[in-house]
Structure 1
C-alpha cells in the first residue's frame, strides 16, 4: 500500500487591488464574435450605419433587377406574348373598332340583326314597289310633268331611306354585344369542322396492331360546329382581344383584368388539349397560324 502524504492547502494572501487578468483568460471567458450571419439584425444594423455596405447592397440590387429584366425580355422574345396575337388576316377582321360617329355603309359592309345581303336587297325592292306612286288611269287628264316630278321625288326619298337603312343595319354602328356576336359567328364559320373537314387533312394516325379494337365510324355532323376546341379557342381569342382593347384605356378595371386572366388560362388549357390530341397535325398548325398565337400562349406558366 503506497504511503499517503497529507498536503496542506496553501493560501496566498491578496493585499493589493491591482489584480490584472491575463488576456488568454479574458478571451476564454468572454469570446468575441468573429462572424455575423448575413440576415441577422446585427448585419442590418451595421449595414444601415456603414455607407460602404449600403453602396454594395444597392449595386447588388441593381444588378439583380437588370438581370431579371434581361431574362424577361429574352423569354418574351423567344416565346412571345401570351395575350397579344400577331396581325394575321383573321385577327385583322376581328378587330372591329366601335366609333361614335356613324359609318357609311359600303358594298362589303357586314350586316347586323341576322340579315343577309340578298334579304336586305329583296326588302328594299319590295319597299320601293310598294311606295311607288300610282299612275292616273285616265291618260287624257293626266299631267306628265307632275307625274315626272312625283316619280323623281319618290326615287330621291327611296335613296335616302335606303342609305338610312344601310347605316342602321351596319355592324360597325352596332353595340359591343352585336359586334361580339358577329365575331363569334365568324369564328364558327372559319374553324368549324363542318367546313374545315373538307379542306384540312386528318391528323397522323397511330400504328394499329392486329389485336387492337377497331373504332367505329363517327356519325356525320349535322349543322354548324360550335363545340370543337378550335372554335372555342377562336372565340376566347376574340373575347381576349376585346378585353385587351378595353383595358388599354381603363387600366384600373380590376374586374375585367381578372376576367382577362381567366380567359387566357382557359385558352391555354384548350390549346394544350388540341396539341396533344392532334399531335401537331394540320389542324393545330392552321389554328396557330390563323390566330397568330405564339408558344407563350400554351407553353409554361402564364403570369399577368
Structure 2
C-alpha cells in the first residue's frame, strides 16, 4: 500500500478509537443512573458497616422494655420516711406469712412411702410385750394372797389383738363357760373347794392369755395377725354398712332386665383398699429394714415396685369412688394424701 494512503488513514483510526471510548463511558454512566436508589443506598450501607466492623469489635445492643425517655433518668429516693418504714414492714409480713405457709404445707405433707402416723398404723406396728411365765408370777404363799396376785396380774395384762384368729369376746365367753363347768355342785360346795376352783380358773385365764398373746408368738404369727387386721378394717363385708356403695345409673341400664348382682360370700380380701392396706404393711416393714441396710439394692427395687403398685390401686379407687367417703377413709387410715399417689415417687 502506498505511504500516501497510510498517512491519510491514521487520523481516521484515531478519531474512531476516541469515539468508541466516549460511547463506552456514556453507556456505563447511563446504566448507573438507571439503578434503583434503594439498591445503591444498601450497597453503600453494607460497605460502611464492613469498614466499621473491621475497625471495632462486634457489640450487642441492650434491650429496654421501658420508655426511651426513662432510660437515662434516675429514680428519686422516697422522701417520706414513714412510707419507707411502712413498705418495709409490709414486705416483712408478706415474707413471714410465706414462710409460715411453706412450713404448714411441709408439715401437712405425708411421706409418700410410709405415710404419717395414724392409729391404724400404730396398732399394726405395735409389738406386745412378752408376758412372764405363770410359775414365776407369784410366790408360793397363802391361797388368798395368790388369788389377789393372779387377779392383779390378769387385770394389768393388756393383750390387744390376739393370735390364732381369735377375738377377745370369744375368749371371754369360753372362759366363762369353762368356769361354769368346773364349779362343784351345790351339795358339795365348801370353802376349800371354792378357793381351789377360783385359783384354778385364774391360772387357766393367765395360761390362755400367754397362749393367745402376740407377744409370745413368732414373726409369722404377727404378720398373719396384721393381715387379718387389714381385712377386718377395710374389707367391704365390714365397710359396706358404714359406706354404702353409691349408685350411678347409666342410660343403657334397666333395673328390670339387668341381672341381679351375686351377693358377697365370706370376707373381702380382693378389693382395692384391702390390697393397698396389705401393701402398706409390707412397705413399712421393708422401709424399716432398709434404714439399716442401705446397700440392699434388690429390696430397694422391691420397695419401689410395691409403692408404685399401691399408687395404681389407690388411683383406681379414687376414680371408682369419685373421691368419696370410702376413699377418704382409706387415705386417712393409711396416712397418705393425694400428692403421695398422684405425683411421681422417687425412692
Among residues 85, 102, 121, which one is paired with 2:115 in the alignment?
A: 85
Aligned match for 2:330, one of 275, 281, 287: 287
Match of 1:226 among 242, 255, 269: 269
Gaps of 5+ in 1: 1-72, 138-143
Report what 1:34 is aligned to. Answer: none
Q: 2: CA distance between counterparts of 1:121 and 1:223?
A: 25
Per the alignment, in what secondary structure is the counterpart of residue 84 of structure 1? coil
CA contact (8 A) 1:98 1:175 kept: no
**Residue 161 of structure 2 aligns with which residue?**
110
TM-score by length of 2: 0.52
Instruction: Output the CA distance in 1 between the equivalents of 2:186 and 2:243.
Output: 59
List per-residue Cα deviations over 1:194-247 (Å, max 9, x = no partner). Answer: 2222222444737x44xx354544222122211111111111112222223333
Structure 1 length normalisation: TM-score?
Answer: 0.59
Deviations 1:59-82 (A, max 9, x none): xxxxxxxxxxxxxx9997786421
Q: Which moved more, 1:228-237 or 1:243-252?
A: 243-252
Q: Kindly tell me: are residues 264 and 121 of structure 1, through their superposed partners in 2, closer, same or farther at Cα, counting changes over 3 Å?
A: same
8 Å Cα contact 1:193-1:228 kept in structure 2: yes
Partner in structure 1 of residue 143 of structure 2: none
Tell me the equivalent position of 1:38: none
1:178 to 2:221 alignment:
yes
Residues 157/193 of structure 1: CA separation in 2 closer, same or farther (3 Å cut): closer
Say if 1:192 and 1:224, in contact at 8 Å, map to a contact too.
yes
Query: Cα distance, 1:90 vs. partner?
Result: 2.0
State the match for 2:98 in structure 1.
none
| Counterpart among 225, 240, 246 of residue 197 in structure 1 | 240
Displaced runs of 4+ in structure 1, greater than 6 A? Answer: 73-78, 129-137
Q: Residue 269 of structure 1 aligns with which residue?
A: 312
Say yes or no: does 1:162 pair with 2:213: no
Distance 2:163 2:110 in 1: 35
